[in-house]
């Protein structure tokens, strides 16, 4: 790390030396150094906010909004919901890394994150995480609605103050961590409809049960690193993978059942039902394969099956949305019985109600 910093400092000195200003030959070198520095900071920012995780939050929030909103809905409402939710996700990721910086340094897959790599100080990451979380929460309050902001605050609190410390104390942390991971599509739904409906909860259930076999595969593949860092994972007491594989099978079966709920609710059509059953069956085959072989290759295939499953089923779910959902969402928007409080209007007896779709 010291050598890397000295190289960077040396590049900066060459970049700003008088000779480099007046000698045209140095211009390409300056551009190259600047480009490398820029790419480096982009990577730092990407690692700090866990860009791939935040991207999944964006996509699932959009999916929830798209399924809950009428066809004539205001596109800016969706944009505001995505911005607020993304800011909260980025803030939660930064706060998680601040909390676990010592543990991240013990794992090869996380040792390059900004704090253990010495790129950013813990105080900087803490300040960034707190600031961006406050901005995201305020964005949801003032630009979306209080119900969505409440779910955002619940997501942040569960991820940072419950899931993060539980990773060092109990194997149940995986199930707890699946809760904040499943809330973004529900937040998209509430941003569109202003209520916690059965449709939104079915989206929550799909994301919840999808995460469990996905993370079982990851935790078993990196079981030694997790144990060395002090994380309490099911895979830590499961060297042969039998318990992890059994959990993956159970939760994949549960995922298949909850994935057909949108069809039963009339949210999606038969195309979605067919795709959900086929994809769920393929997912289950990989879970069973992992249980039978109990090796690294089968665990990797289970992981890639989960990556393959999620974007396809969500895309088909949105594309095969039934017209009845659009008309029902329009009624919800115009109904006098649905009131989503805006800043300064705390109508608790309305926005804490849990009515079903069309109620």
Evaluate the CA torsion angle 56, 58, 59, 61 in order and state its sign: positive
Domains belonging to the chain, first-starting first, are 49-196 (1.10.357.140), 198-321 (1.20.120)
Asked whether the beta carbons of 192 and 64 are under 8 A apart, the reply is yes
Give pLDDT, residue 349: 35
Structure tokens at 225: 């690193």
Q: What pLDDT is stored for residue 343 in this prediction? A: 44
What's residue 200's pLDDT?
92
With bands split at pLDDT 50, 70 and 90, how would you rate the model's confidence at 337?
A: very low
Q: Over the stretch 95-121, which tens digit does the pLDDT of each residue have?
A: 999 999 998 888 888 888 999 999 999
Range from 121-125, 154-158, 240-244, 281-285 carrying the lowest mean pLDDT: 240-244
Q: How far is CA 18 from CA 12, 28, 33, 199, 234, in A?
A: 12, 16, 16, 65, 59
pLDDT at residue 325, as a whole number: 54
CB atoms within 10 A of CB 337: 10
The pLDDT of 251-264, averaged and rounded, is: 96
For position 51, what pLDDT does the model report? 87
Task: Please compute the mean of the pLDDT values over residues 195-201 and round it to a whole number.
Answer: 91
Share of the chain above pLDDT 90, in %: 57
Q: Which of 350-355's residues contact partners 24+ apart within 8 Å by CB, and which partners?
A: 351/145, 351/146, 351/147, 351/194, 353/195, 354/195, 354/196, 355/195, 355/196, 355/197
The pLDDT of residue 271 is 95
CA dist., res. 139 & res. 119, Å (int): 29
Structure confidence at residue 23 (pLDDT): 39
Sequence-separated (6 or more) residues with CB below 8 Å from residue 339: 194, 347, 350, 351
Enter the DSSP assignment of 100: T
Say how many residues make up the chain: 359
As a whole number of Å, the CA-based R_g of the chain is: 23
Residue 228 has pLDDT above 80, yes or no: yes
Question: In angstroms, rounded to a whole number, what is the distance separating the alpha carbons of residues 98 and 100?
Answer: 6
pLDDT in the model for residue 315: 92
Whole-angstrom Cα distance, residue 208 to residue 55?
17
Least confident of 12-26, 31-45, 255-269: 12-26
Residue 354, φ and ψ in degrees, nearest 5: -115, 65
């Amino acid at each position: 790390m010291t050598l890397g910093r000295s190289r960077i400092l040396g590049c900066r000195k060459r970049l700003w030396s008088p000779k480099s200003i007046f000698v045209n030959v140095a211009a390409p070198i300056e551009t190259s150094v600047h480009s490398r520095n820029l790419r480096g900071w982009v990577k730092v920012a990407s690692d700090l906010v866990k860009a791939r995780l935040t991207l999944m939050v964006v996509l699932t929030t959009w999916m929830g909004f798209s399924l809950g909103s009428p066809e004539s809905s205001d596109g800016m409402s969706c944009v505001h919901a995505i911005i607020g939710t993304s800011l909260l996700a980025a803030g939660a990721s930064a706060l998680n890394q601040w909390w676990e910086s010592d543990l991240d340094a013990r794992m090869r897959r996380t040792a390059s994150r900004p704090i253990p790599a010495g790129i950013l100080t813990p105080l900087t990451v803490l300040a960034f995480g707190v600031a961006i979380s406050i901005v995201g929460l305020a964005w949801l309050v003032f630009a979306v609605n209080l119900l969505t902001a409440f779910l955002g605050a619940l997501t942040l609190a569960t991820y940072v103050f419950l899931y993060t410390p539980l990773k060092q104390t109990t194997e149940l942390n995986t199930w707890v961590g699946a809760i904040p991971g499943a809330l973004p599509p529900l937040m998209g739904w509430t941003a569109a409809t202003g209520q916690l409906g059965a449709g939104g909860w079915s989206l929550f259930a799909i994301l919840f049960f999808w995460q469990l076999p996905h993370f079982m595969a990851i935790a078993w593949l990196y079981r030694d690193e997790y144990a060395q860092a002090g994380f309490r994972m099911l895979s830590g007491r499961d060297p042969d993978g039998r318990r992890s594989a059994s959990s993956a099978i159970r939760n994949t079966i549960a995922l298949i059942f909850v994935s057909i709920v949108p069809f039963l609710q009339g949210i999606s059509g038969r195309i979605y039902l067919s795709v959900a059953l086929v994809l769920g069956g393929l997912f289950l085959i990989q879970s069973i394969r992992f249980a039978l072989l109990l090796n690294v290759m089968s665990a990797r295939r289970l992981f890639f099956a989960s990556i393959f499953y999620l974007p396809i089923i969500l895309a088909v779910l949105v594309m095969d949305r039934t017209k009845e959902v659009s008309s029902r969402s329009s009624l919800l928007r115009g109904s006098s019985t649905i009131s989503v409080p805006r800043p300064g209007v705390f109508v608790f007896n309305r926005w804490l109600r849990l009515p079903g779709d069309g109620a």
